[in-house]
Structure 1
Amino acid sequence: MKPVYRSIFLAAICLPSAAFAQSATEADDPPRDVLIVTGTRSPEPIATDRIGGSVTVIGDEMLNHRQVRTISDVLRDVPGIAVSRVPGQTQVRIRGAEGNHTLVLVDGIEVSDPFAGEFDFGTLIADEAARVEVLRGQQSALYGSDAIGGVIHYRTLSGRDAPGTTVRIEAGSFRTVNAAARLAGAAGALDYALSATLNSTDGTPGARGGTRDLSSDTGSLSAKANWLPSANTRLTAVVRYASAEGEFNDSDNDPASPTFGFQIDTPGNRFENEAIYALLRGELGLLDGRWTHALSGQIADTRRDGFNAAGRSFGSEGQRLKTSYESTLRFGDDRLQHRATVAVDIERERFRNTDPSGFAFTGLRQIDSAGLVGQYELFIADAVSVGASLRRDWNGRFADTTTYRVQGSYRVTPATRLRAAAGSGVKNPSFYEMFGFVDGRFIGNVDLEPERSGGWEIGIEQGLFGDSLLLGATYFENELTGEIFTTFPPPDFIASPANRDTISTQRGVEVFATAQFGEAWRVDGMYTYLHARENGVEEVRRPAHTASLAVDWQASGDRGGVTIVARYNGDAVDVAFIDPSFVPVRVALDDYLLLSVNMRYALSESVELFGRIENALDEEYEDVFSFATPGRSAVIGARARF
């Protein structure tokens, strides 16, 4: 990244208050008390300003104005998050945790691949009406395994919240076509939302110096319905189908080649992934709504297949069956409110390696587990809220575990809020890490133990100028033990995972600023400093500095607008296997700045034209060593609402 770009951008991030101090007193308040469902196991939602931990909500309007098509792109605007994008597996790391340390929910359904133990964010294409809730910090006391780094919950809006019919179509560089459609509404006690997305591209070269364009086709179909047969009863049903097909490259495995260990053009390599997710949930309120109950069942069914020039080369299947019961009793008066919650999770994960080589075990394996959660929340007027959660997990394969989380929030003045949180987390090894097999390249380790984490954070939020400006800062520290990493033991030097006997530490600072002045302008900025070390050595793909700045201008009467987003990713390190000795070599990943310019114009109340330029500075950058990324691109499209 050019030094002049970096200097200008970081200066803009560090000087928001000076610019915003000129805002008029007529400014709209930035949202501070948005209700979310992810921050508690109670069937009742909780306001973000009553949570002691770090929460970010990305609303439907923000997704629309920034023209987000792949959710991983907008996650770069969230403090503490770093994104690594490669074909077939886009990873998100929260506060320096690993990519598989984040619990990912879509409309309340756990969507990580049961076989791989991780979710590919490259497959999550934005629907026309959705929002994203991000909780940072250990959340295992609420959700069990996988939530070491935090939780990301992608939620499509209901037919009652966002009724109508919307159709979107766009096309642009690299022969990219993106389309979405949504039909939603409400009739009496029933509301519904049907949606579809598609993203197709011929792609760009995926290897440094390569010429092979990597095409991909990603899409989804979803249906969501709510039925309220009575004032105190709700039934919710969700079904989602996701499909992703794409091309990928291999690394050069010829020790005599000058590109040994680098990605090289590999014609014929492609993948096909499919997933079906479903949820059925019933809610009942008793004692005038003071005693709520929720019973749910969900399923995630995934299939992955890989191909090379000779035919099918690898594959896997995974299934997760989960049922949960949640009950909350609310008591007290207007000044002092108590919420006591009990939750039970029962889960079965089944997996199968469908490797066609004949060398791997292809039988079905499964792991059963159960978790019991106790949660207490206290709200004192509008000033104080505290909460504590304790979870016990029983696992059919690993040792039983207990995790905790405590948090508190205190509004010192109407404009100043102090908050703090602490907790522990656990991540069980995935099926692939234990039993995975790739002939001559990877062997699983059945003796792996769960990874464990503990951490704390403290933060402050300050409103200024009649709350037209909201500033926030958080300091955090985490410690991870038993980290799973890849070894290359002699004499064959075939990759195999193992638990480290050293400690991984992460600490850092997250800063954000949100300003809304008048109806025309909104500015959002964030900066994160991260210090992530494993036994004193810098951890890979964790940039020390990340930042984002978004400036949004809206014309009067909703006639159109312009949104400019700059996303900075600092220097990082990676490991490369470019030495024939198979000893990993640490390499540098240069910093970069991605600039997106998004424009929209309303032809009428129902038809909107839009366009955008992505990577406007035409940065050449890599999120992962030798994996090339797209250059500058342009897109134009139209949206119709009925």
Structure 2
Amino acid sequence: MRVPMLFAGVLAAGNAHAQTVDPATDDIVVLGRGLDLPPGTPAYGSVTIDRQRLENDASGRVEDVLLDVAGFQQFRRSDSRSANPSAQGATLRALGGNASSRTLVLLDGVPIADPFFGYIPFNAVIPSRLGGIRVTRGGGSEAFGAGAVAGTIEMTSASRADLPVISGEALYGSRNAQEVNAILAPSVGNGFVALSGQFERGDGFQTTPEDQRAPATVPARYRDWSGGLRAVAPLGPDTEVQFRGLVFGDNRTLRFKGADSRSSGEDASIRVISHGRWQVDALAYVQARNFANKVISSSTFALTLDQRNTPSTGLGGKIELRPPVGGDHVLRLGGDVRLADGQLFEDAYGATGLVTARRNAGGDTSVAGLFVEDNWTLGRLVLTGGARVDHWTITDGFFRQRSAAGALTTDTAFPDRDGTEATGRAGALLKLGAVDLRLAGYTGFRLPTLNELYRPFTVFPVTTQANANLSPERLRGVEGGIDARPLPGMTLSLTGFYNRLGDAIANLTISPILRQRGNVNAIVAKGVEASFDWRRGAFGLSASYAFSDSKVDAPGMAFDGLIPAQSPRQSASATLAWQPRSGLLASLTARHVGRQYEDDLQTDVLRAATTVDAFVKLPVRKGVAVIARAENVLDETVVTRNQAGSMDLGTPRTLWIGVRFGG
């Protein structure tokens, strides 16, 4: 089928590549990609975002581009400039507000969620470093499938073929915002290296409504940086090694003077890919992360809690084998493991400004699994099915509290726990010329994060307690859909789904100023998702819509039958682009998020909001272009938090001007 250039990328996980010529054979050697997608993958439905769309969004932020996929959300509506980093959990299908990710997010096949919190460090994921993104909703059972209860977001790095030898951009924006990034990507022998760096800062906007501001109220300042290295080299005619490293630092101030957060990380991974007769995908990774946060009272404007240190480590790896079993079958066999350990160190302060308690808590978790999947092509019909068996552990959990003088007042060691989960998925894809029919069913599970188990948090004046007894979440779901290509350059997709998330983890209201994490019986989400892509001449139109009828199933509890917190029933996105010639591009993007509730009892409303963004790229000479970006052109008020009328707001109208070179 013909795919619209602006909006429907054909890139799937690992498909970006570089091409070099083997001087001994004159054959093209393809580097920098993963194994090819199995033929049954479309049975589960997916949405792709290509590199051009990633690079040409008004905000320049991956989490905002992901909003093109209606139904994608973070815990709050804020992006990574004005949200607390620990609130940046990614989810899909209105499966309930939760700061931990219910969606598995991969970069070049490696999970990138924080090992303690489960949030995604979006400030360190730069659009110019990416080749594309594929989003698949629903449970997963292949590599690292444990955790993909809402879906999978697979990001791939830009390859040498995507990148000039030198490229970058520099922009200046509203409220003294600055953004600079650059990539150096030379070929090295028969391989390539991509070295990248980015820095951005801004004085920030007032997240507090004008009538609620106090002398201590300050704009949401931000400052972050990151550096990345990716290297790919051939080990033979069919085998290559890929290395990726990332370091980042992120500083933000939210609402009040002194309410500062800080996060940092150092990640590394190594991956070996073989495209030979026996195909192999093997990788190992390590993460070292940290987080700190200061909580300021909204009544006294004094420091009440200093979450000064939250070190954590993540380790993992996988191996996947594809033996030669005949042209009609693609068989996948493998295993993966993920380990996480971390702890928090925090000090509580009283009204006098002195420390009243010092707390230390943490523990370890692990998930190790084996998986098998077969894709069987029978003419126009493709059948796919897979299963996983995972063993999980929650160990060495503890909570200790000392007085200001250092006397031990609480010393709790939580019992070790473990279990085994069997999950699977199956699908069918029927190709009927210009129409594809698909049907899929799946199960999945997600282990509670260390954050949910052991770390309380405060968004003043509400404190949310941890719960060391949380059970894993378990998903069951079914969906069916149609993909049609009625005209050249046009694609239409429609999916209906039913998902049931058992033992869903939620923040349960105990009193107006106290909540606790807990398992509810289930969150049931059913609904429809639609997408449309069309290109005619210089114009392109892309749109998506999601309706989710999501309810909490909690017999005997006050919120039984209510909509889960932070879960809009409707969301939509549309982008109209004009590209009359190479290098020149203008686009408008409209996004709508429906009304949702701050809490599980539906007492505080976050009203619906519609925003419009604009982007223009104007070439001035070969390899150089002027960039103009406008976020929230109509200056829509976007409420991101509402606690009994105390509100936070999202990004107001923000204008950018800058220059891009090499791309």
TM-score range, shorter chain: 0.7 to 0.9
Match of 1:630 in 2: 651
Asked if structure 1 preserves the Cα contact closer than 8 Å seen for 2:141 and 2:387, the reply is: no
1:307 to 294, 299, 307: 294
Q: 1:70 to 1:479 in 2, by over 3 A?
A: same
- Show CA shifts across 1:453-512 (max 9, x none): 1101101011122x221111110110011111233558x975332211x33110111111
**Is 1:612 paired with 2:599?**
no
1:244 to 241, 244, 250: 250
- Deviation at residue 70 of structure 1 after TM alignment: 1.2
Cα distance in structure 2, aligned partners of 1:407 and 1:374: 14
Aligned Cα RMSD in Å? 2.7
**Is 1:545 paired with 2:551?**
no
2:260 to 270, 282, 286: 270
- Show CA shifts across 1:18-74 (max 9, x none): xxxxxxx999688878252379xx962217885211211111111223345111111
**Is 1:531 paired with 2:507?**
no
**Is 1:571 paired with 2:587?**
no
Asked if structure 2 preserves the Cα contact closer than 8 Å seen for 1:293 and 1:326, the reply is: yes
Asked if structure 2 preserves the Cα contact closer than 8 Å seen for 1:43 and 1:292, the reply is: no
Asked if structure 1 preserves the Cα contact closer than 8 Å seen for 2:362 and 2:454, the reply is: no
Asked if structure 2 preserves the Cα contact closer than 8 Å seen for 1:128 and 1:180, the reply is: no
- Deviation at residue 362 of structure 1 after TM alignment: 3.1
1:421 to 440, 457, 460: 440
Q: TM-score, normalised by structure 1?
A: 0.84
Match of 2:393 in 1: 396
1:85 to 55, 74, 77: 77
Cα distance in structure 1, aligned partners of 2:576 and 2:513: 50
Q: How does 1:42-441 map to 2 (within 5 A)?
A: 44-46=35-37, 50-83=41-74, 84-86=76-78, 87-88=83-84, 89-98=87-96, 99=98, 100-121=101-122, 124-209=125-210, 210=213, 212-249=218-255, 266-285=256-275, 289-307=276-294, 312-333=306-327, 337-357=328-348, 359=357, 362=360, 365-381=363-379, 383-397=380-394, 398-413=418-433, 415-437=434-456, 441=463
Match of 2:469 in 1: 447
Cα distance in structure 2, aligned partners of 1:138 and 1:508: 16
Q: 1:312 to 1:480 in 2, by over 3 A?
A: closer
**Is 1:598 paired with 2:615?**
yes
- Show CA shifts across 1:537-570 (max 9, x none): 11222222211111111122x2412111111112
Asked if structure 2 preserves the Cα contact closer than 8 Å seen for 1:125 and 1:199, the reply is: no
Match of 1:463 in 2: 485
Cα distance in structure 2, aligned partners of 1:115 and 1:156: 25
Structure 1: stretches of 5+ with no match in the other structure: 1-24, 250-265, 577-583
**Is 1:499 paired with 2:497?**
no
- Show CA shifts across 1:101-148 (max 9, x none): 111122322121221123254554423543222111111454233210
Cα distance in structure 2, aligned partners of 1:48 and 1:614: 39
Q: TM-score, normalised by structure 2?
A: 0.82
Asked if structure 2 preserves the Cα contact closer than 8 Å seen for 1:160 and 1:191, the reply is: no
Counterpart residue type for residue 44 of structure 2? G
Number of residue pairs aligned between Structure 1 and Structure 2: 580
Match of 1:252 in 2: none
- Deviation at residue 349 of structure 1 after TM alignment: 1.1
Asked if structure 1 preserves the Cα contact closer than 8 Å seen for 2:218 and 2:254, the reply is: no
Counterpart residue type for residue 346 of structure 1? V
Q: 1:555 to 1:525 in 2, by over 3 A?
A: same
Q: 1:469 to 1:567 in 2, by over 3 A?
A: same
Q: 1:294 to 1:29 in 2, by over 3 A?
A: closer
Counterpart residue type for residue 560 of structure 1? L
Asked if structure 2 preserves the Cα contact closer than 8 Å seen for 1:423 and 1:454, the reply is: yes
- Show CA shifts across 1:350-391 (max 9, x none): 11112245856536632233111111112345x332211100
Cα distance in structure 2, aligned partners of 1:33 and 1:617: 29
- Deviation at residue 531 of structure 1 after TM alignment: 0.7
Counterpart residue type for residue 403 of structure 1? T
Cα distance in structure 1, aligned partners of 2:373 and 2:41: 15
Helix, strand or coil at the partner of 2:568: coil
Q: 1:399 to 1:571 in 2, by over 3 A?
A: same
Match of 1:263 in 2: none
Cα distance in structure 2, aligned partners of 1:437 and 1:543: 26
- Show CA shifts across 1:295-342 (max 9, x none): 211011110012356594443111111121111113324xxx211111
Q: 1:533 to 1:123 in 2, by over 3 A?
A: farther
Match of 1:5 in 2: none
- Show CA shifts across 1:565-589 (max 9, x none): 111112222229xxxxxxx661222
Cα distance in structure 1, aligned partners of 2:428 and 2:163: 33
- Deviation at residue 630 of structure 1 after TM alignment: 2.3
Cα distance in structure 2, aligned partners of 1:562 and 1:489: 50
Cα distance in structure 2, aligned partners of 1:59 and 1:550: 14
Structure 2: stretches of 5+ with no match in the other structure: 16-32, 296-301, 349-355, 395-417, 554-560
Asked if structure 2 preserves the Cα contact closer than 8 Å seen for 1:192 and 1:223, the reply is: yes
Asked if structure 2 preserves the Cα contact closer than 8 Å seen for 1:233 and 1:284, the reply is: yes
Q: 1:369 to 1:593 in 2, by over 3 A?
A: closer
Asked if structure 2 preserves the Cα contact closer than 8 Å seen for 1:36 and 1:48, the reply is: no
